[in-house]
Structure 1
Amino acid sequence: MSSIKALSVVIPVYNEEEVIISTIDKIHSILKKLNIVYEIVVVNDGSTDRTSEVLMSYGGEIVLLNRDVNRGYGFSLKEGIERATGDWILITDADGTYPLEDIPLFVSECSHADMIVGERSGKSVRMGLFNKLAKVILKKLIYILAYKWVTDINSGLRLFKKEMALRYWDIYPDGFSFTTTLTVAAIIEKYKVKYIPINYYKRTGKSHIKPMRDFFSFVFLILRIVTFFRPLRFFLPISFCFFVFSVVRSLRDIFITNAIGTFAVLLFIISIQSFFFGLLADLIVVKFRGKRINI
């Protein structure tokens, strides 16, 4: 039994004139069979092709948000979610990569989770070697920092409570890292996240992702989010490393000069400062936990 009162489907669009209408029609066809209240919010992110013209001439029912300037994937999602009226939000891409036919499965699971994520591990997954390697590295990094295995950190097909997304509104970036931020925040804050294996098809049209640049952006973003929510998990290992270095350096100094040198003392001071900085940050996080995040 679905716990959804009203569903808002948010689709960010940038230069997708070839496939956007078929995507919208397919979603309409699927959701009408589910017999739920829904809307489709399409955000045209300053497309330079005929996407705007195609959308404005579309005969079906959609909520269209047109923008002349390209502001990014995350910005478009935020704009669409803000406009959405549903208590649950489904996001997907317009490029034909995600299996829209699996939407009913997502809806059926919403009573058991706060967010359902499409894990790109099905029988047909068209993903480049670099993207697969980056995905593995990011998964391991999150486990080291957050002690949680995340099977797909940035899948663009997911269903989540609007209320949960709004809680972290001011830390979402405007670029492709929106889904990464939402995933890491939900995992660290112990929301119920369920993963459903899905296929991932070859996209229609040209990809707008720059793999190398976006990979390092994801790494820095994960470090930032973990530091924001669980600062001790970031600063404690740093403090421990500097402490070990200071001990090793002290033993070396005593063995060679029979005295502890300035550099060993400096390493020890950095270790203590890192620990207390993390402890202070952790106390601040605990104090303000439960409130909407603003930075």
Structure 2
Amino acid sequence: MPDSTAAISIILPACNEAGALAELLPRLRAQCPQAEILLVDDGSTDATARIAREQGARVISHPISLGNGAAIKTGARSAKGEILVFMDADGQHDPADIPRLLARLDDGHDMVIGARTKGSQATWGRGIANALYNRLASYMTGHPIPDLTSGFRAVRAAPFRQFLYLLPNGFSYPTTITMAFFRAGLSVAYQPIVAKARIGRSHIRPLKDGLRFLLIIFKIGTLYSPLKLFVPIAALHGLIGLGYYAYTYLTATRISLATLFLLTTAVTIFLIGLVSEQITQLMYKDSDRHKSAD
């Protein structure tokens, strides 16, 4: 297990963040003088890459914008450190919080996430949406998740790279990697932080990306614990089928085709859940073996 002397790479995915970098990068260097600072320029059309190079950061550029998740994957593959610190390049995250994340990592955790507190800057709509995502993810994983979508985290490089194939190219890589770590039996901790208002315009589209977050939660939910998703749906179909059977039997002394359809569907959904559970076990067996070896 890497200790506090392990090589650290700070990875900043960035798209048109020139306005924040001139202030952020000197603070990062002052806070973590020995760390590798790696900025992944995701097709910026402003001076993002030039400012980063002038400030001494290592820069990898995408010729076109591939998405936040794609930038994260590029950074994770290219970073030299044993410990990776991911943070936004828009000025929301305070470099002074990095040592607090690393200290928790040294306690034996595999990933430490900066959990935004109530004092953090966010619109009321995003606050409600994040609370919903946290509830759903907590149900799926069986673990309390105070901040599912935080992009500020410190993580051990080796297990993180095992799950790169799961990460989407767009937004919400935090959703995917957090739930994947829980499913693999890795230790995840949360460190309270205060996130400031970002500098510049947000790249998140609330409606489109909000729906995408929900879809990803359910997608990863089926990878994490399929029966938690399929059993309630199957039970709902079964209860409606039995209820409709009671109604038709009392009113017409017969069983309807709708009842047969609902009960058959309930059994089918449950069986699909069982098969999905077995597939999930096979998908994560290598991760379980690596953890046992560690």
Global fold match (TM > 0.5) = yes
Maintained 8 Å contact 2:68/2:171: yes
Identify if the C-alpha distance between structure 1 residues 160 and 211 changes in structure 2 by more than 3 Å, giving closer, same or farther: same
**Most deviating of 248-257 and 278-287:** 278-287
Given that residues 168 and 292 in structure 1 are in contact (C-alpha distance below 8 angstroms), is that contact kept between their aligned partners in structure 2?
no
Please say if residues 13 and 42 of structure 2, whose CA atoms lie closer than 8 Å, have aligned partners that are also in contact. Answer: yes
Aligned position for 2:11: 10
Counterparts of 1:8 and 1:247, CA distance in 2: 58
- Equivalent in the alignment of 2:281: 286
Please tell me whether the aligned partners of residues 96 and 203 of structure 1 are also in contact (alpha carbons under 8 angstroms): yes
Report the counterpart of residue 25 of structure 1 in structure 2: 26
Question: Share of identical aligned residues, percent?
Answer: 26
State the 1:204 CA deviation: 1.0
In 1, Cα distance between the equivalents of 2:236 and 2:32? Answer: 53
Q: When the two structures are superposed, what TM-score results if normalisation uses the length of structure 1?
A: 0.92
The aligned runs of 1:232-251 (5 Å cut-off) are 232-251=227-246
Paired positions, count: 286
- The 8 Å contact of residues 4 and 88 in structure 1, kept in 2 or not, is answered as no
Q: Secondary structure of the equivalent of 1:216?
A: helix
Indicate how the Cα distance of structure 1 residues 185 and 54 shifts in structure 2: closer, same or farther if over 3 A, else same. Answer: same
| Partner in structure 2 of residue 116 of structure 1 | 112
Contact 2:113 2:189 in 1 (8 A): yes
Q: Which runs of 5+ in 2 are unaligned?
A: 289-294
Q: Deviations over 1:72-93 (max 9, x none)?
A: 1110010011001111100011
* Alpha-carbon distance in structure 2 between the residues aligned to 1:287 and 1:172: 19
Q: Contact conserved, 1:99 with 1:200, CA < 8 A, in 2? A: yes
Q: Secondary structure at the match of 2:190?
A: strand
User: Mapping of 1:55-204 within 5 angstroms?
Assistant: 55-56=52-53, 58-60=54-56, 62-112=57-107, 113-121=109-117, 124-204=119-199
Residue 104 of structure 1 and its aligned partner are, at CA, apart by 1.1
Q: Is the 8 A contact 1:2 1:108 kept in 2?
A: no
- Match runs of 1:249-268 below 5 Å: 249-268=244-263
**Residue 144 of structure 2 aligns to which amino acid in structure 1?**
W
Superposed CA offset, 1:219-258 (max 9, x none): 0000000102211111111111111011001101101110
Q: Which runs of 4+ in 1 moved over 3 A?
A: 1-4
Q: Give the equivalent residue in structure 1 for 2:292.
A: none
Distance in 2 between residues matched to 1:93 and 1:184, nearest whole Å? 20
Matched, 1:54 2:51: yes
